[in-house]
Structure 1
């Protein structure tokens, strides 16, 4: 008997202080409960309650992690556009960033600066 394929999620939370937190998981419901209960060390623990404002399903953990890392490199304005589903604004913000000549932080590379605690 073959098990069901595993699903992975990248997600974006809006915290009580209006900041964003981006993460990835293989169990979105459980991870949300952990964030709400303050069981996750770091950014969200003292910024509760949190609200799930965006999530996307991925077939592999690597793809979910790459999405998380890309989004973490985005500006607040681009994250807001993602939450609103404003693809035109996201595209405009991406073009403006390229025109400004700033280096991209959204390469999705997963081999630099990997820490075990980032994947909890």
Structure 2
């Protein structure tokens, strides 16, 4: 199953992607073997993750997130953090 994830780059920008193994993908980004966008913005840290998608659905969700404005992404991240602290 695929995961959709958001990374926060060292310059404060966000990168959204999909992966079968998010931990391995994060390590690849931080080693400079990830997306071209993150190579010059390392280190990156995982700030958001949604699990349980097939590839097609993960790609669609990734695009939905990429289409969000930065303020909308910040709200998504805050809502997720609030939900985790309520659990």
Q: TM-score, normalised by structure 1?
A: 0.64
**Which of 52, 55, 62 is equivalent to 2:49?**
55
Q: Give the aligned partner of residue 70 of structure 1.
A: 64
Structure 1 portions without partners, runs of 5+: 1-6, 87-120
Of 29, 35, 45 in structure 2, the residue corresponding to residue 35 of structure 1 is 29
| Greater Rg over alpha carbons, structure | 1
Greater helix share, structure number:
2
| Distance of 2:31 and 2:55 partners within structure 1 | 24
Alignment of 1:100-119 (within 5 A): none
Give the direction of change, closer, same or farther, for the CA distance of 1:73–1:59 in structure 2 (3 Å limit): closer
Length, aligned pairs only: 80
Residue of structure 1 equivalent to 2:18: 24
Moved beyond 2 Å, runs of 4+? none
Q: Using CA pairs below 8 Å that are at least 6 residues apart, which structure has the higher relative contact order? A: 2
CA RMSD of aligned residues (A): 1.1
Shift of residue 59, structure 1, vs aligned partner: 3.2
Structure 2 length-normalised TM: 0.86
